[in-house]
Structure 1
């Protein structure tokens, strides 16, 4: 299998984004992505999409995201035209963005890519005509900015891509995927965690939100994210703590509280276990690297 690097498309390695229009008259060989994701909007025609060992038909108006490590390609192409947007999620989807609190975002950009490489999962966002025209205008603007590279093009591209992300997340309709309740329930749970990570959260509470038994919920969660729910919450809290240590002058006690810890000593122990140093040492290293 060919592993496609994002660097093959980039002229500027510091800005991991690439957009293009593609007309496929021949099948596209199987390949995977090297540390980047691909947002695909089908603009016309249809094709059979191969994802790992599964195949399903995609048509005009379908929107999906392929993550790294996922082998995919196209066959049986018929007047097949798409827009590809290649991007590195960690560059665009930074921790402070509230879009991560959206169930639509979690479904389209996080869970669907994970499920598609683990099981037969072909749920996709399907745009109606009004939404299709709206998204078409947005990607035309993105493509123009990317091609012309006028003053401030990186700034406006990042802003416009995030706007596209928000719009697609809002358009995601869970009722359109009745055959896979898991994506619906887990997306809502992850959005809840992102919004309430600083509050006390129990596995039983999350299981009730998912409408699964606690045992089923833990199994599905671990299958999707590779860890149990409480580990996910701890990782998120540590990510938020690191962000606050880097970007604010808040005291360690205030940061601990904002991340859901009301015992400073316990917070420091968890932080050190997770990051290999205390919060104070982490902040000192950040300051040293800046100066």
Structure 2
């Protein structure tokens, strides 16, 4: 099973657009069959696309091609996370069920970075507003399609962007990194050594660390820590279990070490994160 591939269908067959607004979280290594437009609304981050490391800041926008592996990390550990909005859509959302549309977008909209503003920002805000109220309204769905087209037209017509060059990546090494990430995603709840992780790629430890960092920008152990922190953040938002119990479930056997790692990655304590994430009604149940 490829845990880095998002098999979930974004949107519905008759409305193949999804929006993830105002998300205060970095996301792990993954890819999907749809296109994605990623807007940085607050803060700074590093977005890794294929073999490229992109420093992004408030107002920057990134277009991602189909099946393009990507993830986000904080540029400085301990800083508060960036806030972003993602628009994920199938080519059929713009009348592109045929090869012409896919080929045109692939040629003219590679992964690109640009400052967001003016008409582009206005169209994104309008799309967000319509998406929040268009579930059962056919006219609003039609408007959403129109705003998405306007966003793409603005991207194509603007000269204010930087095209990201594709980096040469060794296919065998890439697969080794994929296997290691899947292994960590599956086994993060128990003790994992760097030697055990390196074995999944059939490389020596030193060589494996080198290729992993080349592909992801960070070491395997740092990736493992981020995976564990992401998992416990999800549990903090969804459960009322004690924090010490959740830390153990996510692979932390020392609560002091866990607290240091969590604060280093998230910029706040687990209890503060839970209070910010849960509604007052849910907090009363803890």
TM-score bracket, normalised by the shorter chain, equals 0.3 to 0.5
TM-score (norm 1): 0.46
Q: Which structure exhibits the higher relative contact order, with contacts defined as CA atoms closer than 8 Å and separated by 6 or more residues? A: 2
Task: Determine which structure has the larger helix proportion and give its number.
Answer: 1
Structure number with higher strand proportion? 1
